[in-house]
């Protein structure tokens, strides 16, 4: 199948509309499965966390950061008795998250798609230019391939974060049976600390990702649904174009 198909050409024959193959089916399935799965895992993870909110950062009696919420919030959200519910949902969806992630990583390796996703030596410089362009500090956007530098860094980071969530989750789930793994994260408390902040990383990624999708417009969103994007290409003006 050709990567591009002609849709139509304006009367003045200066612009052609092309249907560009953007996202393979397996990538779209992985993307749309991950969205509700991670949403449920964040919700259920918070139920588990709120059942034991002793998490804090500090030295001795000095507390720099505490995540303990007022009892009134627990009462209003009916979270005080949600531990069993949170654990049941979290463990069930964790397997879906893990399998979906493994399928995606295997696909990127087998198809060599990782070459478009993994940051190269220009990605960090391009990412800075992308941010400057999005903030309106520069007018010209950096060259856009399938993914720009900022997207390469963000999407690769999400894969690494996913692996971190699985490993820290196993360390929390089986701290005795997988004692060696728990020790790698400096014990149960360390694994729980990292697991929590990886979750906050997903939330931050969601917010930025949705904002970027809204900024990019309907065509970008449609591409992740259908697999194709509509692109403009200058047409031949000598009368011999198709």
Q: Are strands 15-21 and 62-66 parallel, antiparallel or unpaired?
A: unpaired
C-alpha to C-alpha distances, 193 to 61, 175, 185, nearest whole angstrom: 19, 14, 9
> Are the beta carbons of 63 and 57 closer than 8 angstroms?
yes
Q: Two tokens at 169?
A: 């989750």
What is the C-alpha separation between 198 and 211, in angstroms, rounded?
20
13 dihedral zone (left: phi>0; alpha: psi -120 to 50; beta): left
User: What domains lie within the chain, and their CATH numbers?
Assistant: 4-50+70-234 (1.20.950.20)
Note down pLDDT in tens along the chain; length 242 residues: 444 455 554 444 555 666 666 777 788 888 888 889 988 998 888 788 777 666 666 666 766 666 666 667 667 766 666 678 888 899 899 999 999 989 989 988 998 888 877 888 877 888 788 778 777 777 777 776 777 777 888 888 888 999 999 999 999 989 999 999 999 998 888 888 889 889 888 888 888 878 777 776 666 667 677 766 766 665 554 444 44
CB atoms within 10 A of CB 241: 12
Q: How many helices (H) and strands (E) does the chain have?
A: 9, 5
What is the C-alpha separation between 24 and 228, in angstroms, rounded?
9
pTM (2 d.p.): 0.72
Residue 102 has φ and ψ, to the nearest 5°, of -65, -45
């Amino acid at each position: 199948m050709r990567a591009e198909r002609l849709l139509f050409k304006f009367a003045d024959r200066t612009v052609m509309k092309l249907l560009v193959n953007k996202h393979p089916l397996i990538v779209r399935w992985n993307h749309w499965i991950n969205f509700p799965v991670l949403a449920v895992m964040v919700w259920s993870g918070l139920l588990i966390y709120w059942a034991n909110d002793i998490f804090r950062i500090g030295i001795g009696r000095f507390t720099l950061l505490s995540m303990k919420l007022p009892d009134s919030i627990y009462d209003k959200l009916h979270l005080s008795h949600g531990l069993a519910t949170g654990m049941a949902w979290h463990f069930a969806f964790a397997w879906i998250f893990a399998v979906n992630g493994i399928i995606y990583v295997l696909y990127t390796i087998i198809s060599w798609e990782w070459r478009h996703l993994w940051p190269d030596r220009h990605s960090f410089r391009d990412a800075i230019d992308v941010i400057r362009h999005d903030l309106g500090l520069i007018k010209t956007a950096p060259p856009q391939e399938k993914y720009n530098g900022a997207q390469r860094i963000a999407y690769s980071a999400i894969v690494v974060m996913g692996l971190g969530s699985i490993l820290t989750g196993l360390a929390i789930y089986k701290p005795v049976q997988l004692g060696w793994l728990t020790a790698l994260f400096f014990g149960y408390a360390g694994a729980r600390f990292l697991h929590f902040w990886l979750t906050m990383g997903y939330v931050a990624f969601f917010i930025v990702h949705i904002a970027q999708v809204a900024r990019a417009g309907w065509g970008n969103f449609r591409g992740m649904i259908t697999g194709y994007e509509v692109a403009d290409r200058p047409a031949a003006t000598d009368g011999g174009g198709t």
